Amino acid sequence: MRKPSVRLLALCSSMFLALVLAACGGSSTGGGTPQATIKVGLVTDIGGLNDKSFNHLAAVGLSKAASTGNICSKLSCKGQLGVQGDVTESHNGNEYVNNLTNYASRGYNLVIGVGFSMAESIGTVSGQFTNVHFAIVDGVGADAKGNDLKHPNVVGLLFKEQEAGALVGTIAGVLEKDGKGPKNKNTIGSVGGVKIPPVDHYIAGYQWAAQQVDPGVKLINGYSNNFTDPTQCSGIAANQISKGADIVFQVAGGCGNGVLTEAGKQGVWSIGVDSDQGSPNGQAVDKSVIASALKRVDTAVYAAIKQQHDNSFTGGISTFSLSNDGVGYVIDSGLSPVPSDVTSALNDMISKIKSGSATVPDTVP
């Protein structure tokens, strides 16, 4: 009888192994039962992905986790968790519920809303899809009256923006005390978008810290009631600069980019928000930016996705602060070299906040 060839034996062995793996639910490239791809849908608020602020950062957090999905055509995907990541930009508030429902109704495991203004929509949709997990940046699920619903399938990603505001306020206060401001008027300004808690947190910390280091500094504040139109914010900034503001801090998302460019036109300094808005390698807006208050939305979004990936999702509230590196600051090249007393004051402020010996207010007087 003719013996089977080595080649035939190898082929039969390969076929047998494939049949065994298939019967066990495995694959020839990895042991065990393969997990279904986790699907994550991200819905921006009306600021969109080009706000150079927190919507952009949320998308960065998703792209860090994603290997596939339409986020990969908008940002470079890192694929650290191998999830499918998709993003939908909202153009007005009436789209929030539909955009969130689109993901929840199609079997997405985690649906993320970006922005305080999406709280009611998250509350509505999470109540309808109790088997889907939700996360919201800057809020929690709420009812039509703004009451927290505390749905167990929702986690609110909240930040102590006042701590980041205090750090850039320290910078502004020291510069004004030293008489280094372009106008030397011992005056600083801030421009908020809509007057909501995350915005006021930033401004409260900024004003408080500036007066801690320079009790005589004059404070000017205004609101655009807008997060998207830079011309509205540039007009408010121009008014503050005309009143002597050497430094203007923007807390208005895409609208606030007008604050930064107006400062550049008029030869004064500006402070960015959420991301590094003065870095040529980051979300640079204008050369007038000397520092930015950082709110690490990307870190928070990635953390929520990782919990989903690790099957450890927990509803409730996750708070990001200076103590867990959820907020911070960066000084840009517009302030180079950095004065030694600025560095000293920053180190002192950071130490006091982390130790609890300084409590930063979160409401604007």
pLDDT of residue 336: 87
Same domain, 151 and 179: no
Same domain, 132 and 191: no
Number of structural domains found in the chain: 2
Q: Is a pLDDT exceeding 50 seen at residue 204? A: yes
Q: Of 167, 108, 166, 161, give the one whose Cα is nearest residue 138.
A: 161
Same domain, 56 and 205: no
Instruction: Evaluate whether 122 touches 90 at the Cβ level (below 8 Å).
Output: no
pLDDT of residue 35: 58
| Among the ranges given (19-33, 79-93, 206-220), the one the predictor scored with the smallest mean pLDDT | 19-33
| Among the ranges given (50-59, 67-76, 160-169), the one the predictor scored with the smallest mean pLDDT | 50-59
Q: Please report whether residue 18 resides in a domain.
A: no
CATH code of the domain covering residue 222 = 3.40.50.2300
3-state secondary structure the chain: CCCCCHHHHHHHHHHHHHHHHHHHCCECCECCCCCCCCEEEEECCCCCHHHCCHHHHHHHHHHHHEEECHHHHCCCCCCCCCEEEEEECCCCHHHHHHHHHHHHCCCCCEEEEECHHHHHHHHHHHHHCCCCEEEEECCCCECCCCCECCCCCEEEEEECHHHHHHHHHHHHHHHHHCCCCCCCCCEEEEEECCCCHHHHHHHHHHHHHHHHHCCCCEEEEEECCCCCCHHHHHHHHHHHHHCCCCEEEEECCCCCHHHHHHHHHHCCEEEEEECCCCCCCCCCCCCCEEEEEEECHHHHHHHHHHHHHCCCCCCEEEEECCCCCCEEEEECCCCCCCCHHHHHHHHHHHHHHHHCCCCCCCCCC
Same domain, 182 and 132: no
**In which domain, by residue range, is 172 found?**
161-295+335-355
Q: Please report whether residue 7 resides in a domain.
A: no
Same domain, 175 and 284: yes
Same domain, 103 and 61: yes
- 87-91: average pLDDT: 97
Q: Where is the domain boundary, 159, 194, 221?
A: 159
pLDDT of residue 34: 45
Residue 348: both structure tokens together:
């002192």
Q: Where is the domain boundary, 129, 159, 189?
A: 159
Q: Of 110, 60, 268, give the one whose Cα is nearest residue 181.
A: 268
- Count other C-beta atoms under 10 Å from residue 360's C-beta: 24
Q: Is a pLDDT exceeding 70 seen at residue 280? A: no
Q: Please report whether residue 4 resides in a domain.
A: no
Q: Please report whether residue 144 resides in a domain.
A: yes
Q: Please report whether residue 28 resides in a domain.
A: no
Q: Please report whether residue 100 resides in a domain.
A: yes
d(CA 36, CA 107) in angstroms, rounded, equals 12
pLDDT tens track for 94-126: 999 999 999 999 999 999 999 999 999 999 999
Q: Of 86, 270, 247, 125, give the one whose Cα is nearest residue 177.
A: 247
pLDDT of residue 148: 93
Q: Where is the domain boundary, 113, 136, 159?
A: 159
- 286-291: average pLDDT: 93
pTM (global) more than 0.85? yes
Same domain, 194 and 59: no
Residue type, 298: D
Q: Please report whether residue 10 resides in a domain.
A: no
Instruction: Evaluate whether 56 touches 297 at the Cβ level (below 8 Å).
Output: no
- 55-76: average pLDDT: 96
Same domain, 155 and 166: no
Q: Please report whether residue 203 resides in a domain.
A: yes
Same domain, 209 and 340: yes
Same domain, 258 and 291: yes
Same domain, 120 and 206: no
Task: Provide the pLDDT confidence category of residue 13 given band limits of 50, 70 and 90.
Answer: very low
